[in-house]
Amino acid sequence: MDLFTLAAPIFDLAMRISGHDKVLVELGNRIKKAELKRYSEGSGNNFNLEQLESKKVAKDSIPETELLDLGGGTGELARYLPRNLKITVADPSQAMLKQGREKVFKQQVKHVLADGADLPFADHSFDYLTISDALHHFRDVETALDEALRVLKPGGKLYILEFDPRTIFTRVIIFFEKLAGEPVNFFQPEKLTEILGENELKIEHEYLNKSLYILSAEKTHR
């Protein structure tokens, strides 16, 4: 039995107790702002957040946008995303996906069993792609990032929420995840930028606290 099969029943509760849900709120807000900008510019209308979250406006005036939550586990991030998104949660843990399928979401959410290094999606399928506190679990990070960029549309945005391996807090995480047999592929944001920089991307990162950062990248080609 793997780590995620054991953790699935209490995963969401543990995230809330640890305060990690506040970080998901921040990631969700960034995607909401991107959506507001996208549709305000595209339609010539000045949408606000209330309109974006309105069932009537989201259905009648704002087209659905595709988001892939890669390594998304139970799909907890969806709780903090705008309701017009059509979300696909891809994860290699059947236990996590099962837990997610029992939830009620405000968006249309699909749960797919998939490995990040071999995604079962066509090229240019998604407007957004998130990897939230999951990249360090991937055994082949560079292949997974190549796959992420393959399925992201030109002009689409990639958001990676991850821990900096230099901090004491992350070193504690590394210790316990190594005991559990996890890959612990943590990267400094500069190194992750270097890996992604082989592609034509607009990349920036920002620390949310001493340990956690969000790296965002806009795909400009392929």
Mean pLDDT rounded to a whole number for the chain = 85
Q: What's the mean pLDDT in 12-22? A: 63
3-52+62-219: CATH superfamily:
Vaccinia Virus protein VP39 (3.40.50.150)
With 80 as the cut, is the pLDDT of residue 101 above it? yes
Lookup result for tokens 């974006």: 52
Q: What's the mean pLDDT in 4-23? A: 60
Q: What's the mean pLDDT in 141-156? A: 95
Give the pLDDT of residue 199.
66
Give the pLDDT of residue 55.
55
With 90 as the cut, is the pLDDT of residue 180 above it? no
Q: What's the mean pLDDT in 1-10? A: 53
Least confident span in 39-48, 63-72, 146-155: 39-48
Give the pLDDT of residue 157.
95
Q: What's the mean pLDDT in 85-107? A: 93
- Condensed to tens digits (0 to 9), the pLDDT of residues 112-145 reads 999 999 999 999 999 999 999 999 999 999 999 9
Nearest to 83 by CA among 37, 120, 35, 141: 35
Domain ranges in the chain? 3-52+62-219
With 80 as the cut, is the pLDDT of residue 50 above it? no
